[in-house]
Amino acid sequence: MPILETRGLTKRFGGLVAVNGVDLSVEQGEIFAMIGPNGAGKTTVFNLVAGLYKPTSGQILFNGKSVYPVREFWRNYLPPLAGYYTVADAVRRRLGLGPMPLGLRPHAVTALGIARTFQNIRLFSYMTALENVMVGEHPRMHAKVWDSLLRTPFARREERKVRDRARELLRFVGLERHQDQYARNLPYGFQRRLEIARALGTQPKLLMLDEPAAGFNPQEKNELMQLIQDIRGQGITVFLIEHDMKVVMEVSERIVVLDYGEKIAEGPPQKVRTDPRVIEAYLGKSA
Ligand SMILES: Nc1ncnc2c1ncn2[C@@H]1O[C@H](COP(=O)(O)OP(=O)(O)OP(=O)(O)O)[C@@H](O)[C@H]1O
Ligand SMILES: [Mg+2]
């Protein structure tokens, strides 16, 4: 069973179809890449999977479980709630809000085991590197508010564990010596790696990286490829968006190509690289 699957995934923004009927299937344990020209819809696919955007239509499944839509679930198993949704939908339509959002919310998607990084780095600038990773671990913490307020032994033990694990993750991405620096003071390449560490803090089964090599020099790219392989070595499936062809071709086992929101090719790197449709999408039609 694939770890992530989309069926007919479609997202419209007004008149623009950013993602158009895309079927994807990411296998457990692989390094899977998505490429395509600027504006092809790659980041939108990530945002849909992560629950940031609601699909216009289509399905998203994680480990065979529906992430979108989830309404069928209520319809099938909890008919009384389906009634509630119908009424809520009617009210929302009256107010011009559109139907109930039916996908999982981003935090619920994270809890399932999906983590991501952003094309434009999003860190907490005035938190240290260590604190940024600890924030990533937060969804997996169990201490309740009163534990934290009363600083119960449980809360303290958990905080120590979270801190240790954050240090371990910083070591894993090669940032252990910078743990006390504000994120904003770290060089660009370090910030990118810090974002990966924070994502790993959520203990994902699937890690989605949006152009992790952007702005990297050749040595940083090599280190990144090693890191991606190490992450996969830990049993985490990697779903990668990347423009750098060298990185994509070397690190990924399977590639899917989007162009104007549609899937135009799919397969192992050597096949995709020579596919006429892919070459055309990147270079334009030759006269
Ligand atoms: N929130 C939004 N509202 C309106 N249009 C959007 C929104 N997000 C993306 N788009 C449009 O959808 C299309 C796909 O954008 P997307 O960011 O997914 O492309 P991409 O493949 O990630 O491109 P790039 O390689 O430049 O990052 C673009 O035309 C973009 O302008
Ligand atoms: Mg993008």
Contacts of 131 (CB under 8 A, 6+ apart): 124
Residue 182 lies in a domain: yes
Segment 82-115, tens digit of pLDDT:
666 677 777 877 888 766 657 788 888 999 999 9
Ligand nearest to the CA of 258: 1
> How many residues are present in the chain?
287
Residues 11, 16: Cα–Cα separation, whole Å: 9
User: Exposed, middle or buried, 36 (CB in 10 Å: 0-12/13-18/19+)?
Assistant: buried
Residue 192 lies in a domain: yes
Residue 214 lies in a domain: no
Segment 53-90, tens digit of pLDDT:
999 999 999 999 888 888 655 555 555 566 666 777 77
Residues 82, 240: Cα–Cα separation, whole Å: 37
CA 42 to centroid of ligand 2, rounded, Å = 5
Instruction: Kindly write down the DSSP assignment for every residue of 193-257, as one continuous string.
Output: HHHHHHHHHT--SEEEEESTTTT--HHHHHHHHHHHHHHHHTT-EEEEE---HHHHHHH-SEEEE
How many domains, in total, are found in the chain? 1
How much is the pLDDT for 141? 82
Residue 242 lies in a domain: no
Q: Where are the alpha helices (DSSP H) in 95-217?
A: 106-112, 129-137, 145-150, 153-172, 188-201
Minimal-distance CA residue to ligand 1 atom 6 = 13
Provide the token pair at 69.
């839509």
SS3 43: helix
For residue 186, give the CATH number of its domain.
Answer: 3.40.50.300
Residue 123 lies in a domain: yes
Residue 275 lies in a domain: no
Minimal-distance CA residue to ligand 1 atom 29 = 39
Ligand nearest to the CA of 12: 1
Minimal-distance CA residue to ligand 1 atom 18 = 41
Residue type for 240, please?
L
Residue 190 lies in a domain: yes
Minimal-distance CA residue to ligand 1 atom 2 = 13
Pocket test for ligand 1, best of 12, 44, 48, 241 (most atoms within 8 A of CB): 44
Provide the token pair at 80.
């009384």
Apex 219 CA angle, 206 and 122, nearest 5: 45
Residue type for 154, please?
F
- Picking from 61, 69, 11, the residue whose alpha carbon sits closest to that of residue 41 is 11
How much is the pLDDT for 103? 78
Contacts of 215 (CB under 8 A, 6+ apart): 188, 189
**Enclosing H/E stretch for 89:** helix 79-94
DSSP 176: G
Pocket test for ligand 1, best of 9, 10, 16 (most atoms within 8 A of CB): 16
How much is the pLDDT for 143? 80
- Picking from 51, 49, 58, 50, the residue whose alpha carbon sits closest to that of residue 12 is 58
With a cut of 70, list the residues of the chain below it in pLDDT.
71-85, 98-101, 285-287
Q: Which residues line ligand 1 (CB under 6 A)?
A: 13, 16, 18, 36, 38-44, 119
Residue 135 lies in a domain: yes
Question: How crowded is residue 35: how many other Cβ atoms within 10 Å of its Cβ?
Answer: 25
Structural domain span for residue 131: 114-203
Ligand nearest to the CA of 42: 1
How much is the pLDDT for 94? 84
How much is the pLDDT for 98? 65
The model's pTM:
0.89
Of the CA atoms within 13 Å of residue 105, those in its CB half-sphere come to 2
